[in-house]
Amino acid sequence: MSEATRTRTGAVRRAAPWLVLLAAAAVLPPASGDPTITYLATTASIYVLVGTGLNIMFGYTGQVSLGQGALVAVGAYTTGVLMADHGWTFWAAAPAAVLVTTGAGTLMALPAFRLSSWYIALVTLGAAMAARSLLVEFEGLTGGWSGLVGIPRPAIGSRELGERDVLWLVIALNAVLFIMVRNIVDSRLGRGMMAVRDAPEMARSVGVGPVRAKLFAFACGGATAGLGGALLAVHHGLVTPDDFTLDFSILFLLVVIIGGAARLAGPIIGTLLFFALPELLTGLAEWRGLLYGAALLALMVYAPQGVAGAWDKLRARHRRDGPPVAAARTGDGGAEVGPPRGAPLGVELSGVRKSFGGVHALRGVDLTIEPGEVHAIVGPNGSGKTTLLNVISRLLWQDEGRVLLGAEDVSRATAERLARRGVARVFQTPRLLGASSLRDNVLLGAYARERAGGPATVLRLPRARRERAALAAEADRLLGAHGLAGRADEAAAALPHGEQRLLEVARAMMARPRLLLMDEPAAGLTPRELEALGRLIRAIRDAGTTVVLVEHHIELVADVADVVTVLDRGEPVTSGAPEDALGDARVVELYLGAPA
């Protein structure tokens, strides 16, 4: 079978369950002959739509919102007012509603730049409560407690859509949204959002702007809530404040959590379990509260990643029980790290000071790192090594002094900008997307050099597809060069510590960096892994990348460094070739203590 045929067959096999689900949702309710079932199926499908938007915000970007119900209300009322009072068609009113709620959703994002997730939850909860009061207050526009009635169904020409047509419309919109979200999640946009959720500093070090990522997520959540509101308005034919209680707002978050946050199927499963199933089992109405509570508790304890997450885990275990996958491990790390995307970058620090309250972490550091060398920074615990790396990578700004990258003054530049200039970073403790595959983790490293824009990515246009395929092949090659060949689809969190470190180096190399900053990469490695790391660092330097290596492992430093700088209490003590710097009497005293 040719590669193209195999790819096509794989795609068909992956799409098959979704096509079956779509067909079932479109055909079965109308075929039941019971209008209530069609009505409920439409309502549930609208909830899936809103839940999918919230999944982008909460599941993939980690931004909790208890205010989705308020945005749905804004969408519903905007559509209601425009259609019932101003005679707009649905096709004009719905985009207007989406525009309004995208704006409102983006406004709700503003506190997210300063507050932690749980404070944002409170802010959005406040927004939900305020929105309901406003709906009642602005009686002239919204009809107060009585709401808006007589909202017509969407029409094509003079034909008004029936109940079944509205269901099909909602299902079609869900299908389009599902494909768009899948494309986003499997792209630099999605990887960037997950990096902001899991490791904000690492996200910045690969070039992801957290503000843009959060704004994008909130805008997606706002847009889908607006669309959901517009559809609810024409589906019900009326909107009242009672439709948008606090429970309604919380419902969407529960749907995402129960179904499985950051899983494409999460909102579908969550809606089925949380809304559709109990509606159908009306005989259990009295017990519903108790059943919900018990199910939620059981889920939190036994399946914190929701039903879809538990299902994925089960499948992964089943796969592991099967015949072993032939994992080709080269394990040797070295050769194919690839060339940097430009000439190696040097760094010059002059008079750099950084304090944390009364702690002076850096006390006026002057340091020159020449392009193309491996420059090791050593020193006792707390001497300021990580702070120095943070200042060079711009995750921290110095209080005083100047930082030059090549010839450019970057004293006021952001970490994201440095990533675009070709600076990559490996952290003291690996910062990875734990739930994502090794390939996706490495692909994240290419964030700053990917060219396909937002629309090309969301619609997966040929340009974006070609770029993605080329980068995926490059990521697989890099995994091989770091001893992780044949394991691209495994989850990063399942790797042992040493391999997680190598994966981080592979991610950094995916940036094709001109300057690589490594913070204690040898910590916790086995002797064999250490040897591979030594070879890797030399190969990276030989390929034309400057390496700054913060390290306690003196044998490794002596083995790979061209220059060693020793820091003590925030100041360089000495700098020079390894044999000179490490043999300096002051350095020996620092490490071994003063002779008696």
Tell me which residue has tokens 């009585």.
Answer: 146
Closest to ligand ATP by CB, 55 vs 383, is: 383
Q: Which residues share a beta bridge with 425?
A: 517
Q: Least separation, in Å, of the C-beta of 356 and ligand ATP?
A: 3
Q: Least separation, in Å, of the C-beta of 566 and ligand ATP?
A: 11
Closest-CA residue to 305 (of 582, 59, 38, 591)? 59
Closest to ligand ATP by CB, 304 vs 351, is: 351
Closest to ligand ATP by CB, 385 vs 425, is: 385
Letter string b/e over residues 336-354, b meaning 16 or more CB atoms within 10 A of that residue's CB: ebbebeeebbbbbbeebbb
Q: How far apart are CA 217 and CA 195, in angstroms?
A: 13
Closest to ligand ATP by CB, 535 vs 552, is: 552
List C-alpha distances in Å: 426 to 280, 480, 562, 563.
52, 18, 19, 19
DSSP state of 325: P
DSSP assignment of 85-110: IT---HHHHHHHHHHHHHHHHHHHHG
356: part of which helix (H) or strand (E)?
strand 347-356
Which residues contact ligand ATP (rule: CB under 6 A)?
356, 359, 361, 379, 381-387
Letter string b/e over residues 264-279, b meaning 16 or more CB atoms within 10 A of that residue's CB: bbbbbbbbbbbbbeee
Q: Least separation, in Å, of the C-beta of 502 and ligand ATP?
A: 20
Q: Least separation, in Å, of the C-beta of 391 and ligand ATP?
A: 9
Closest to ligand ATP by CB, 289 vs 593, is: 593
Closest to ligand ATP by CB, 467 vs 504, is: 504
**Taking the mean position of all CA atoms in its chain, how far away is CA 330?**
30
Q: Least separation, in Å, of the C-beta of 384 and ligand ATP?
A: 4
548 and 515 Cβ atoms separated by less than 8 Å: yes
Q: Least separation, in Å, of the C-beta of 248 and ligand ATP?
A: 41
Q: Least separation, in Å, of the C-beta of 558 and ligand ATP?
A: 18
242: part of which helix (H) or strand (E)?
none
3-state secondary structure of 218: helix
126 and 96 Cβ atoms separated by less than 8 Å: no
Q: Least separation, in Å, of the C-beta of 348 and ligand ATP?
A: 20
Closest to ligand ATP by CB, 5 vs 381, is: 381
202 and 30 Cβ atoms separated by less than 8 Å: no
Closest to ligand ATP by CB, 81 vs 573, is: 573
Q: Least separation, in Å, of the C-beta of 475 and ligand ATP?
A: 30
Q: Least separation, in Å, of the C-beta of 197 and ligand ATP?
A: 21
Identify the sign of the CA torsion 216, 217, 221, 227. Answer: positive
Q: Least separation, in Å, of the C-beta of 355 and ligand ATP?
A: 8
Residue 97 burial (CB < 10 Å; 0-12/13-18/19+)?
A: buried
Closest to ligand ATP by CB, 355 vs 437, is: 355
Six token digits for residue 458 = 């969301």
Q: Least separation, in Å, of the C-beta of 374 and ligand ATP?
A: 18
Q: How far apart are CA 61 and CA 481, in angstroms?
A: 31
Q: Least separation, in Å, of the C-beta of 569 and ligand ATP?
A: 9
Q: Least separation, in Å, of the C-beta of 206 and ligand ATP?
A: 21
Q: Which amino acid is at 83?
A: M
Q: Give ∠ CA 501-504-505 in degrees, rounded to 5.
A: 90
Closest to ligand ATP by CB, 239 vs 522, is: 522
Six token digits for residue 125 = 């909860």
Q: How far apart are CA 364 and CA 319, in angstroms?
A: 56
Q: What are the helix (H) ranges across 492-542?
A: 497-510, 527-542
Six token digits for residue 530 = 């250490």
Closest-CA residue to 391 (of 405, 379, 381, 374)? 405
Closest to ligand ATP by CB, 63 vs 205, is: 205
Q: Least separation, in Å, of the C-beta of 592 and ligand ATP?
A: 17
Closest to ligand ATP by CB, 162 vs 382, is: 382
Closest to ligand ATP by CB, 18 vs 397, is: 397
24 and 181 Cβ atoms separated by less than 8 Å: no
Strand arrangement, sheet containing 546-550: 423-426, 515-519, 546-550, 374-378, 563-568, 571-576
60 and 190 Cβ atoms separated by less than 8 Å: yes
Closest to ligand ATP by CB, 182 vs 569, is: 569
Q: What are phi and psi of 565, to 5 degrees?
A: -115, 130
Closest to ligand ATP by CB, 31 vs 359, is: 359
